[in-house]
Amino acid sequence: MNLVIDVGNTYIKIGVFDKSKIVHKCVIEQSDFEKTVSILQNEYPLITDAIVSAVSNLSDDFVKSIKKKFKTVFLDHIVKMPFENLYATPTTLGIDRLALVAAAVYQFPKKDVLVIDAGTCITFDFKNQREEYLGGAISPGLKMRYESLHNFTAKLPLLEIKEPKKTIGNSTEEAIHSGVVNGVLNEIDGLIKEYCNIYPGLTVILTGGDAHFLSKRLKNSIFATSNFLLEGLNYILAFNNSR
């Protein structure tokens, strides 16, 4: 069994996999990590391997703790991937994006796939039928757009994400909601259309924290999954263990 760990700036997402099937998932604060891992070890004593993806530097204590408990892969740009990375600057590519592309390769082999991760930033990552990663795009996410309007103007309020009641906002708050949400929706729909013009059989995946909010409002057919990144990390671990 595998332990998959995705370390964010605030929270840690953990998945326990029995081969390719996820049998447990949780989101915890970093301070609860040691306690949670001990509980999982008792509950799933067959866990032998782990993979760690982190957006920031890990403490020495964290690294030592994981290495002591499991045979561990720490995801970086040197780790072998189940696809060919044709990104011009591979060392600047976020490792979370690598995991998403790996998940696309695993779930949709030999297909053209666009993965859209709607989180703090909205990232677009494309892999083709030859399992080549070509790149994509990076754009500000919903929350970042609301914060930018507030932080870079003198009087615009800071609002929470909310579905606009109508396209034409007849108040400052409604105008902000319309501009931010409809702007993101039209941006995503527009990029999907451009990709589909080049790759007619395109499969589109939407994931990330804002995926469910956006998926109901987008025009294009989209597969949304909350475990996509964890599944990609598990596939990378399996791929490296099989070599």
* DSSP codes joined into one string, 109-134: TTS-EEEEEESSEEEEEEE-TTSEEE
Structural domains for the chain: 2-74 (3.30.420.40), 85-233 (3.30.420.40)
Q: What is the pLDDT at residue 224? A: 73
Q: Is 11 annotated as a binding residue?
A: yes
153 is annotated as contributing to ligand binding:
no
CB 85 within 8 A of CB 133: yes
**What does the block give as tokens for 68?**
């002591």
Q: Is 12 known to sit in a ligand binding site?
A: yes
| Positive/negative CA dihedral, 63, 64, 68, 73 | positive
Angle between helices 95-107 and 228-241 (to 10 degrees): 80
Q: Characterize the bridge pairing of strands 11-18 and 21-29.
A: antiparallel
Q: Are 101 and 108 in contact (CB under 8 A)?
A: no
Q: What is the mean pLDDT of each run of 10 residues along the chain (243 residues)?
A: 90 94 93 91 96 84 88 94 96 93 96 95 97 97 97 96 94 97 96 96 92 87 82 96 81
- The answer on whether 61 is annotated among ligand-binding residues is no
Instruction: Please indicate if the annotation marks 76 as binding a ligand.
Output: no
The pLDDT score that the predictor gives to residue 10 is 76
Catalytic center residues? 96
